Amino acid sequence: MGKQINFHSDDEIEKCIITRLRNAGCVFAEDETKLLISEARTPDSLAVMVDRRVAGFPLEHIIGWADFCGIRIDVEPGVFVPRRRTEFLVQQAADLAFPGAIVVDLCCGTGAVGTALTVFLGWLELYAVDIDQASVQCARRNVTSVGGNVYEGDLYQPLPTKLRGRVDILVANAPYVPTEAIKLLPQEARKHEARVALDGGTDGLDVQRRVASEAPIWLAPGGHLLVETSQQQTKKTVEIFARNGLTPQVANCDELDATIVIGTRPFL
């Protein structure tokens, strides 16, 4: 008997992918399908991409980029995918920054926050740091594309000492998930993002404490530290800031479910 040949229309392929993604629990199956089809170079690569998505890989790791603040940010496997909620951190920092400001993006991951800020403000003197090698590699592509500098290391340790006392804006979306809550995260985060990107220690605030304690050394008088936190952790984050001599202020965005604590170094 001759081999049966099946011709599938583009519509049939699209419907089949939507069904597979829906069955795998993808909430935005239609949108994701369109994106996968537009990103795939060949039918074979489309099939591989769909299989990976069905297996639970984050969409951004599969297509290699994330839409953050309307900007295309390169993302690599294992690297923290910039979240919609973090766009509020960018908005808050943009309100306080000015063209030419010295900005440090600590715990930069892909470098999305510093990159977006630079795009919005036109020009910044941007320094980004991450401890994770894969993140640094990824950040180098995003951050250097807007003229910024990227360093690998532990928080402030790799920064040039000439920045001490001169930083206008210090943004740090540090890991803030309490260790015990990691197991409750969606599998996309738990399995496909580095532990160091998520785990903030017993109460989730270990890295924030370290960021805040050294911030007064690096901030210019009147300079600001901005961190993302959760609503439940806000009170503690505010206390940490105040204990380190930073004047704290809280900003919330219900739409993005985002909370930012801003600490300002007093002029005197």
Ligand X SMILES: C[S@@+](CC[C@H](N)C(=O)[O-])C[C@H]1O[C@@H](n2cnc3c(N)ncnc32)[C@H](O)[C@@H]1O
Least distance in angstroms from the C-beta of 14 to ligand X: 31
Amino acid at 104: V
Strand order in the sheet with 149-152: 149-152, 125-130, 102-106, 167-172, 219-229, 258-264, 247-253
Least distance in angstroms from the C-beta of 115 to ligand X: 10
Verify binding: residue 104, ligand X, rule CB under 6 A.
no
CB 236 within 8 A of CB 181: no
Which among 109, 220, 210, 198 has a CA at the least distance from the CA of 156? 210
Which range of residues in 13-21, 52-60, 131-139, 244-252 is near ligand X by CB under 6 A? 131-139
Which among 235, 245, 246 has a CA at the least distance from the CA of 204? 235
Verify binding: residue 86, ligand X, rule CB under 6 A.
yes
Q: Which is nearer to ligand X, 174 or 261 (CB)?
A: 174
Verify binding: residue 108, ligand X, rule CB under 6 A.
yes
Least distance in angstroms from the C-beta of 112 to ligand X: 5
Verify binding: residue 126, ligand X, rule CB under 6 A.
no
Q: Which residues pair with 67 in a beta bridge?
A: 72
Measured over the CA atoms of residue 69, residue 79, residue 208 and residue 259, the dihedral's sign is: positive
Q: Which is nearer to ligand X, 21 or 108 (CB)?
A: 108
Interface with ligand X (CB under 6 A): 80, 82, 86, 107-110, 112-113, 129-132, 135, 154-155, 173-175, 194, 196-197, 207
